[in-house]
Structure 1
């Protein structure tokens, strides 16, 4: 992938998309194609086809998706399935039709079975039942992987699929109704500190283990793979290390400066017991994550405070 080429970052205002734009610009990309949701509705097949025909991108990062945590996935299953299937289908098909040279499709670690072997190798896909709380999103992402494989097999389209572990960092969603666990914790512990709350209660038992990858590392991995990887097999991107949700809560509390009690609520769902990525394949190619979790959480908290201050909110 030449950095002077016409590169379309679909979903450039989201967590991953904005990190991709930062990464590409730092690397010297000079011809990025960026469209907001109001400028280009990726669920609109005709609009997507017209965009590709007019702009003729050479490389595509498909980072656009409807995303959210356990609660959002459980509350809006139809939207998570419908919108993601539409976005993927429209972009992948139009990219092939318009002669795009290479496409990078971004998935999620939730594609793997709930009780997949740990760490989860790429070969674990479709070997068992999915986690029920986010199976709608997972099925859409699995369909995206299979679509990339089908277009590669039938048409010779160079489409790769990249499966990140849990992502976090600048640009994340901190809405308590729809956010993922780490940004939700940052907000809740920050607000608890301001309110001098005696305790914060986290969902579930606190025992599930999760792995977290800084979004800037993810962006660098995507650019690296666009330059060094071409295969039908999807590829995992992660750090290869995990911790419990309770340990994560303790880290966030320490970072924020909250010294109250941390309680658990076993009546709320835990989700998958463990989600640790097997990253042997990408390590063998020569890429490794660089941002440590403690540093990454501190950086993300600083970014969150800056957004509050910019909006005139007490921080």
Structure 2
């Protein structure tokens, strides 16, 4: 018998990576719905979907996401829509008898001044980063909802918290993308134009952790499919979320140089030190997921190379 698996958010970067890996298996029947086919913020529609489709497992990768500008401009949208999606999917999944669900969160759940590297126990120990607090609160609520259903009803609803992700199906918009896709486009255009230099914001000294989305998808499936007896040996029932990252960080300047090498830009790199750096370091403690037997496959160079090869053949190159 094939497992019927619903991937919510299957057109996003992480959701699509999960789909790519699951569709290669012969024991899975994927159930996918676009936003036009199923509005996850509509409680009745989500309840009817679960009742009609007899789902066995859920990957909840659907979310309203955005950068600092979007989070600052639309805080009500971020908290309301994400809470609605989580409440509807998790609640309706439980009502329809779904025993296994994986909720995908974000490392922004941790306090702004959390100890580095950030372990799962840092959750709710301090103030959040103000610019994305509404989004982070929604994600924290999703974690606690999964924990609460497990405690009260004996379900196996688990949560994974990714570090900074990049890869296939990333957002390469010229104005609204994150650091890796933004720099990849910038270096690519500079190479094509024969520019002598590329300007990068900040000093290049802050340290960040980057994880290829295919590694994130593999980790998500790995955690979802862990046997209960193994999972329960390593995971506190009141602290069930699991960090997913490489366990290693690098300076922005190291990442930038790797990017230039991958793209083939041979000009000068200028750091605009009048622009903000952000926090000096953001690194997840991955001890828990490593103890469960998972580790990433991609190095930064390999991951950027894979992403650039995909970018060159995608519609993003024409944005």
Q: Is TM > 0.5 for Structure 1 vs Structure 2? A: yes
What's the CA shift for 1:202? Answer: 2.6
Task: Give the alignment of 1:30-69 within 5 angstroms.
Answer: 30-69=28-67
- Is the CA contact (8 Å cut-off) linking 1:208 and 1:244 kept in structure 2? yes
1:266, CA displacement in angstroms?
Answer: 4.2
User: Which residue of 2 is the match for residue 152 of structure 1?
Assistant: 150
Is 2:107 the counterpart of 1:109?
yes
2:298 to 287, 291, 298: 291
2:91 to 76, 85, 93: 93
Alpha-carbon separation, structure 1, partners of 2:197 and 2:317: 26
Q: Is the 8 A contact 1:102 1:157 kept in 2?
A: yes
2:282 is matched with 275
- Mapped partners of 2:65, 2:286: distance in 1: 23
* Residue 128 of structure 2 is aligned to residue 121 of structure 1: no
- 1:1-315 to structure 2, matched below 5 A, reads 4-228=2-226, 229=231, 231=235, 232=237, 233-308=240-315, 313=318
Q: Is the 8 A contact 1:70 1:180 kept in 2?
A: no
- Are the equivalent residues in 2 in contact too, given 1:70–1:271 (CA < 8 A)? no
Note the C-alpha offset of 1:61.
0.3
* Maintained 8 Å contact 1:114/1:273: no
Offset of residue 313 of structure 1: 4.4
CA distance in 2, matches of 1:207, 1:90: 42
**Structural RMSD (CA):** 2.0
Q: Deviations over 1:96-134 (max 9, x none)?
A: 111101100000111111221111110011111222232
Q: CA–CA distance in 2 between the matches of 1:210 and 1:312?
A: 26
Q: In the aligned structure 1, how far is the partner of 2:60 from the partner of 2:98?
A: 12
Shift of 1:267: 4.5
Q: Distance in 2 between matches of 1:59 and 1:282?
A: 21
1: CA distance, partners of 2:130 / 2:275: 14
Contact residue 174 and residue 187 of structure 1 kept, 8 A: yes
Distance 1:178 1:312, change over 3 A: closer
Whether contact under 8 Å (2:113, 2:126) holds in the other structure is yes
2:311–2:317 CA contact under 8 A, matched in 1: no
Gap runs ≥5 in structure 2: none
Q: What does the per-residue CA deviation read over 1:147-187, in whole Å, with 9 as the maximum and x for residues that have no partner?
A: 11122222323211111111111111111332221111111
Question: Matches of 1:104 and 1:283 in 2, distance apart?
Answer: 18
Flag as ranges the 4+ runs of structure 1 deviating above 6 A. Answer: none
Number of corresponding residues: 310
